[in-house]
Structure formats: structure tokens, C-alpha cells
Amino acid sequence: MSIRWSLVIPVKTLVAAKTRLAAATGPHRTRLAVAVACDTVSAALSCPLVARVVVVTADPAAAGPLAALGADVVHDPDRGLNTALRTGAAHAVRLAPDAPVGALQADLPALRPAELAAVLAAAAEHDQAFVPDALDVGTTFYGVRPGVPFTPRFGGESRAKHLAGGAKELDLPGIDSVRRDVDTPGDLRAAVALGLGRHTAAVVADLRLSPASPDGETGPG
């Protein structure tokens, strides 16, 4: 039987979420942030190697919709991203001491359950492992085997931090949707090209996104 994971997904207070998308999204910014988190959680819960999703948030506007999808919501102590992740991981270990625990960024609106399953299967072969973001600077997933200290190092150049901490970088083909986090209008367009989840697609349908320029930079429509 395949190992099934507990995944911890941190969701910011919506007033602070996706500020770099403000010019492109206007009054839809907080709605988009909720939609992206909903698609991330939905895809994770649909993954056959995921037993449970623990969402860590202090925002009731996000907590309600995510709990309705089936996530187990715990309160964010508001002491930074890695503290939030450790809080969620501790809760997950109380629920399932023998399950591996992973941290997954909340802004993966094109996430595919099969691609996440490939990541989790590979991560289960290592004490700690991670997936870099599409820019090879940040991190979208970090996970540990049962009993291994959960030491996430998200924030800034977290790829380098996770490597320095001894985590195995997972260099897998065909996991673009796991690596495509969304912080900027250009990121959002790249996610659109991969295929959005239904919640995000409904919001994006109300936006007017200009096409990417030849140099890859994008501006608000």
C-alpha cells in the first residue's frame, strides 16, 4: 500500500495576500487569493497519496471555504511562514504520527493531483526533500519522512536554504504544475497556460490580462 501524506498549506491573511497582483486584479485580488488557495487545496485532496490537508490561516474569510472543501483548518499564530508550517505539521503529527509530512505553498492554481503524486512518491525515498519553484529560487514543496525533524526554510532564496539544510532537491520531469506558484501577473499567465483549477479560472474570466511581452515580462491589462 502506498504511503499517504499529511500536507500543510499556509494561507496568508487576505489583506496581505498577492499584493504584487494588485495592479492586474484590482478589486478581485482577495477573491483571486481565495480561489487560488481553493484550487491548491482541492488538487491536494484529490491526490491519491494525500491522506489529509491541514490549512494554517488566521483569516476566517479563507478558513471557511477551505474547511468546506475538506481541509483541517488550524489557527496561524502569526509569527512568520515557517512557524505557521511547523504549527500545522505538529497538528498533522498528532493526527497521524506515522505519516510523512509535507509543506505545500498555497498559490498553485494549476496544480495537478497526478503531478503532486509523482513528487510525493519521490519525496518518500528521502529523509527530507523539496521542489524548487519555476524560477529555481524559491520552494513550492518541502517534506520529511515520519520521525524526521520538520525544518522548513521558506522565504527568500529558499531553494539554497533547503539545499544547505541537507534536503534532497527533486528534479523530476513533468511536474510543472507543482512548481508554478503565482506571485505576479506573469506567473498568473504561465499558470493559465498550464490550465487553471475551476475556482481560479472563474476569477480570471473576470480579469483582462494583457499578453506576455517577448522578453517574458508582463503588465496589467
Dist. CA 101–CA 23, nearest whole Å? 36
Does residue 200 have a known ligand-binding role? no
Strand ordering across the sheet containing 128-132 = 72-75, 50-57, 5-11, 101-104, 139-144, 128-132, 168-169
Q: What angle do CA 191, 194, 200 make, to 5 degrees?
A: 50
* DSSP calls for 167-212: PEE---TT-HHHH---SSHHHHHHHHHH---HHHHHHHTTS-PPPP
At 17 the pLDDT is 63
At 176 the pLDDT is 98
Does residue 139 have a known ligand-binding role? yes
What one-letter code names the amino acid at 176? D
Using 70 as the pLDDT threshold, list the residues of the chain that sit under it.
1, 14-18, 23-25, 208-221
Q: What angle do CA 34, 132, 68 make, to 5 degrees?
A: 25
At 28 the pLDDT is 78
Q: What is the CB neighbour count within 10 angstroms for residue 27?
A: 8
- What class has domain 5-204? alpha beta
At 216 the pLDDT is 37
Does residue 221 have a known ligand-binding role? no
Dist. CA 52–CA 99, nearest whole Å? 10
**Residues paired with residue 128 on neighbouring β-strands, in sequence order:** 144
Contact (Cβ atoms closer than 8 angstroms) between residue 133 and residue 145 = no
